[in-house]
Amino acid sequence: MGNGDEKLDRNEEQSGEKAKRLVEKLGENKAAIVILMLKTPEITVNELGDQLEISRNTVDRNIQKLKKDGVLERIGPAKGGYWKVNLEMLDEKK
């Protein structure tokens, strides 16, 4: 295995650990929402529901909790805006 392969394995391992910590702090649905928003900030509530196979109401409820906790912020309008994830708030959340 070359040096680049080892680096990729380490990055995947670190990403997996970060995802586990997110699930521990937020719960499975909220963590999945945050991860998808980090990957695709312009993702819609309907797309989140479809990808996670949960209802739009469940997505909305989780987003409201994440916004209340300061983890999520909506930048711009519902159409054409994007989600900002405040990772610092996750570090503070116990």
Q: Is the pTM of this model over 0.75?
A: yes
On the question of pLDDT at 61 being above 90, the answer is yes
Hey, what amino acid is at 74?
R
On the question of pLDDT at 59 being above 90, the answer is yes
- 10 Å CB burial of residue 54 (0-12, 13-18, 19+) is middle
Cα–Cα distance for residue pair 80/94, rounded to 1 Å? 33
On the question of pLDDT at 58 being above 60, the answer is yes
* Chain segment 4-51, per-residue pLDDT in tens: 555 555 555 656 777 788 888 899 999 999 999 999 999 999 999 999
